[in-house]
């Protein structure tokens, strides 16, 4: 039953209903004898029904259009037909004027109500986004303090282990079996050193050195590096005019480079890999922002990962640390911006969204 009623939510259905009512009411006018004054008065009032329906369908446009059609349908019967409405002329003229006023006023009120509703919906979405960012910031702050302590405790003994391993490696010649074992040891120690460095970077709230930068140039510089890995998969669409924001050049480049490397890894098993990078200005949640987007056709992100993709240690890679996107998200938080992700079964797009752009 409910599904059947939902058809009347369609604006086109409401307009069709309005036109049908105009036809029925007009035919009733002509079919009713002129001595039946009460019936003609009722029919004249019934014209307001399609006007109201038209207003609910398309607002001011719908209300005004249906009011005009009602007037055109009623005027011949009111003034020119031999089988005319018996009401006084002044009543009929005022009724036609009221059709137009009611249609325009009701349509305007509907448009205003919808505008307020959309504004409230946007505010609610923005509030939910801010709440999610505050919750994530609290988690990251607590986790950062823990990681800082762990990293400092590991770094000093790790440096001693690295020095000892390097000293041991010099005791063996290259052809000695233990030489290869010492190299594996050094490689693993270096990997642990990089991991500790990432922990410290995540824990440290690095101050941003903001200057006016052109996002087009950041994109071009990062793509040059990406093309060294694979120069056949990139599509770049930058703005024709400079996209200027106040940001830390190196940190923003780090964010974009991380997304590009992730995209390259995501498309490594795709037959026809594609990485599209865009830069420009766009409206996000009713506000114009500068943005960079990175899209790849690597098959999308699993739904269970999508909602927590920016949380620490969340990764789809066997050898990944799960800190790259968390650090990128933290950098954008420090810049007053944010990051969003959209994913389907085919592709994934990451949005890097900045504060309102500076005018070039």
**Three-class secondary structure of residue 195 per DSSP:** helix
Element (H, E) at 49: helix 48-75
Residue 272 CB partners (closer than 8 Å, separation 6+): 297
Same domain, 117 and 148: no
Same domain, 217 and 349: yes
pLDDT of residue 163: 79
Range of the structural domain that residue 111 is part of: 2-123
Same domain, 342 and 218: yes
- End-of-domain residue from the set 168, 203, 238: 203
Same domain, 13 and 142: no
Looking at the domain assignment, is residue 172 inside a domain? yes
Looking at the domain assignment, is residue 359 inside a domain? no
Looking at the domain assignment, is residue 358 inside a domain? no
Same domain, 274 and 149: no
Contact status, residue 158 vs residue 193, Cβ threshold 8 Å: yes
Same domain, 237 and 333: yes
Same domain, 199 and 216: no
pLDDT of residue 111: 93
Same domain, 220 and 267: yes
- For 294, phi then psi, to 5°, come to -125, 115
89-98 b/e (C-beta count within 10 Å ≥ 16 → b): eeebeebbee
- End-of-domain residue from the set 108, 123, 138: 123
Looking at the domain assignment, is residue 193 inside a domain? yes
Same domain, 264 and 344: yes
Looking at the domain assignment, is residue 26 inside a domain? yes
- End-of-domain residue from the set 93, 123, 153: 123
Same domain, 77 and 141: no
The model carries a pTM of: 0.52
**Measuring CA to CA, how many Å separate 256 from each of 86, 206, 295, 324?**
77, 18, 12, 11
pLDDT of residue 204: 60
Q: How many domains does the chain have?
A: 3
We report the CATH number of the domain holding residue 316 as: 3.30.565.10
pLDDT of residue 92: 86
Contact status, residue 127 vs residue 75, Cβ threshold 8 Å: no
In angstroms, how far is the first alpha carbon of the chain from the final one? 57
Element (H, E) at 244: strand 244-247
Looking at the domain assignment, is residue 360 inside a domain? no
Q: What is the DSSP letter of 6?
A: G
Looking at the domain assignment, is residue 185 inside a domain? yes
Same domain, 244 and 143: no
**Three-class secondary structure of residue 117 per DSSP:** helix
For each of the chain's 360 residues, which pLDDT tens digit applies? Answer: 444 545 556 888 889 999 999 999 989 888 888 888 888 889 889 999 999 999 999 999 999 999 999 999 989 888 887 667 788 889 889 999 999 999 999 999 999 999 999 888 888 877 777 777 667 666 666 666 666 666 666 777 777 788 787 887 788 777 777 878 888 888 888 877 777 776 666 556 556 788 899 999 999 888 887 777 666 678 888 888 888 999 988 889 888 988 988 888 888 888 888 899 999 998 887 788 999 999 999 888 877 777 778 777 777 666 666 677 887 888 888 888 888 899 888 889 999 999 877 665
pLDDT of residue 1: 44
Looking at the domain assignment, is residue 60 inside a domain? yes
Same domain, 99 and 154: no
């Amino acid at each position: 039953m409910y599904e059947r009623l939902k058809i009347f939510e369609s604006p086109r259905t409401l307009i069709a209903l309005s036109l049908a009512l105009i036809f029925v009411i007009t035919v009733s006018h002509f079919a009713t004898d002129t001595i039946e004054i009460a019936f003609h008065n009722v029919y004249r009032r019934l014209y307001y029904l399609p006007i109201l329906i038209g207003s609910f369908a398309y607002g001011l446009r719908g209300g005004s259009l249906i009011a005009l059609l009602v007037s055109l349908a009623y005027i011949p019967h009111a003034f020119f037909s031999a089988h005319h409405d018996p009401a006084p002329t002044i009543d009929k003229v005022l009724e036609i004027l009221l059709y137009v006023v009611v249609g325009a006023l009701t349509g305007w009120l509907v448009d205003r109500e919808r505008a307020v509703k959309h504004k409230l919906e946007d505010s609610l979405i923005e509030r939910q986004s801010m709440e999610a960012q505050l919750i994530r910031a609290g988690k990251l702050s607590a986790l950062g303090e823990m990681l800082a302590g762990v990293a400092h405790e590991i770094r000093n003994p790790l440096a001693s282990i690295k020095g000892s391993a390097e000293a041991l490696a010099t005791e063996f010649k290259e052809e000695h079996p233990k030489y290869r074992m010492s190299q594996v040891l050094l490689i693993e120690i270096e990997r642990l050193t990089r991991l500790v460095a990432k922990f410290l970077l995540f824990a440290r709230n690095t101050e941003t050195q903001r200057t006016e930068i052109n996002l087009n140039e950041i994109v071009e510089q990062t793509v040059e590096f990406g093309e060294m890995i694979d120069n056949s998969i990139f599509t770049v669409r930058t703005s024709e005019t400079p996209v200027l924001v106040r940001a830390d050049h190196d940190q923003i480049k780090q964010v974009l480079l991380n997304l590009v490397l992730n995209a390259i890894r995501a498309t490594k098993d795709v037959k026809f890999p594609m990485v599209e990078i865009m830069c420009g200005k766009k409206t996000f949640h009713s506000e114009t922002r500068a943005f960079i987007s990175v899209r790849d056709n690597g098959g999308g992100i699993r739904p269970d990962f999508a909602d927590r993709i920016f949380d620490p240690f969340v990764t789809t890679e066997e050898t990944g640390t799960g800190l790259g996107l968390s650090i990128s998200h933290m950098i954008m938080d420090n810049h007053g911006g944010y990051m969003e992700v959209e994913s389907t079964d085919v592709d994934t797009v990451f949005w890097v969204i900045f504060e309102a752009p500076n005018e070039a």
